[in-house]
A = this chain, B = another copy of it.
Amino acid sequence: MSHNTFGHLFRVTTWGESHGPALGCVVDGCPPGIRFSEAGLQHWMDKRKPGQSRFVTQRREEDLVKVLSGVMREDDGTLVTTGTPVSMMIENTDQRSKDYSEIAKRYRPGHADYTYDVKYGVRDYRGGGRSSARETAARVAAGGLARLVLPGVTVRAALVQIGEHKINRDNWDWSEVDNNPFFCPDPETVPVWEEYLDAVRKAGSSVGAVIEVVADNVPAGLGAPIYAKLDQDIASNLMSINAVKGVEIGNGFEAARISGEENADEMRIGDDGKPVFLSNNAGGVLGGISTGQPVVARFAVKPTSSILNERRSIDSDGNEVDVRTKGRHDPCVGIRAVPIGEAMVACTLADHYLRDRGQTGRLD
C-alpha cells in the first residue's frame, strides 16, 4: 500500500533496522476473539530464524516475539485479540559491535546501499539497515496471526530450485519439508543440494533459488478486481521480499508457451455434486478471484549479494573501490525466504478474506 504498510483491512506496518534496538510490526484490523499463544507464533519465527544450519547466516537471534498490545491475556497465558492493533516487537540481540567505517561509504554491489544514499542522502549502513532481511522477521510474526484469521486454510511453501538444480516434482512430499535444512519436498534432491551448496559456501560464492507457496482450502471468491486481484496482491507482496526478482501464479511463464487448449482448466461436476477443476494451470485464480483450487505461487530469489569474492564498486566520495563482504555469510538467502513467502501469502489471503466478507457478506 504505502511505504511500510501492506493490506487493506488486515493491515501490516513494519518498522526497524538490522542493528537498531528492535524491529517489529503493527497488525491493524485483526478480527477480535482470535486465540493464540506466543509459543504458537514462535513456531513460525523459528523456521525463519538464522543460524540453524551451515547453509544460512550464522547470526544468532532468538527472535522472540513480544506482543505489546491488542490482546487480553488469559490465566493460562492464552492471548485473545480484542480488535485493536496488535503491536509485536522482536529485539535485536546479536548485533556484533564492529567498525563500520569502511562499509559506511562503500556501495556493496547488489545491495541497496547506493540507492538509499541517492534517495535519502543518509543511510543506516549497519548490517544493511532497513533493507536487511532482518525486517522479514516482523512479516513472519504477522503471518502467524494471519493464518488464524483463515478458517481451515493451510499455507505451506517449499524450495523447488537452487541454482541450476530443480527438484523432481514427482517426488513431492510435504512431510519431508521439515526434515532437511532446505525446506526441500523431494528427499532425493536433498543430498544434491547439500553437496552443491557446500561447494558454493566454500568458494565464498552464493546462488539463487525458487520457492513455491501453496495455499489449500482457500474459499472460492477471494480477490477484488480490477486492481486488488488476489494474484496481483500475492505477486506484489512476494516481490516486496528482499532479493525477489520474479513471481509466477499457477503455470506462470510456462503459460506463454502453450496453447489455449492445453492451458484451459476444464470443469466437471464432482461426485459430491460440487464443481471440480480437472487441472490447475491457473494456480487457483481466475480473473483475479480464487477458484477454490489450491492457490499456487512461485518466486525467484537472486543469489546473496554479500560474497567473499571481490567485486568492483564505488564509494560515496566517488572513488572506485573493490568490495568483498567479510564476516557472516549466507550462501543462499533463498532458503530462509520459504517461511517469509508463506507469511506474505497468509497475510494476503487474510486481508482478502476480510474484504470479501465486508463487500459481499458471503463469508462467516
Contact = CB atoms under 8 A, between A and B. Distances in A.
A266 B115 contact: no
A301 interface: yes
Nearest to A206: B260
A163 interface: yes
Copies of this protein in the complex: 4
Interface residues of A, number: 154
Given A255-B302, A361-B363, 19 more contacts: A2-B29, A4-B26, A5-B11, A15-B86, A16-B69, A23-B69, A31-B361, A82-B129, A84-B124, A111-B287, A118-B220, A200-B259, A245-B249, A253-B300, A259-B303, A261-B311, A269-B314, A278-B312, A354-B358
B245 A239 contact: no
Interface string A248-267: 11111101111111111111
A307 to B, nearest CB: 4
Contact of A247 (B21, B247, B301, B362): B247
A240 interface: yes
A231 interface: yes
B253 A240 contact: no
A267 B314 contact: yes
B68 A20 contact: yes
Contact of A267 (B114, B161, B220): B114
6 contacts: A15-B84, A23-B69, A115-B291, A208-B258, A233-B236, A246-B255
Given A21-B68, A240-B229, A307 B221 contact: no
Interface string A99-115: 00000000101111011
A122 B259 contact: no
A119 interface: yes
A122 B264 contact: no
A256 B300 contact: yes
Contact of A253 (B111, B129, B245): B245
Contacts of A228: 1-3
Given A226-B240, A245-B252, A268-B314, A275 B114 contact: yes
Contact of A28 (B13, B33, B207): B13
B26 A15 contact: yes
A153 interface: no
Nearest to A10: B359
B260 A305 contact: yes
A320 interface: yes
B4 A226 contact: yes
A46 interface: no
A295 to B, nearest CB: 12
Contact of A119 (B206, B237, B301, B362): B362
Contact of A256 (B124, B200, B301): B301
B207 A260 contact: yes
Contacts of A8: 1-2, 8
Contacts of A240: 226-227, 229, 232, 288
A135 to B, nearest CB: 6
A156 interface: no
A265 B110 contact: yes
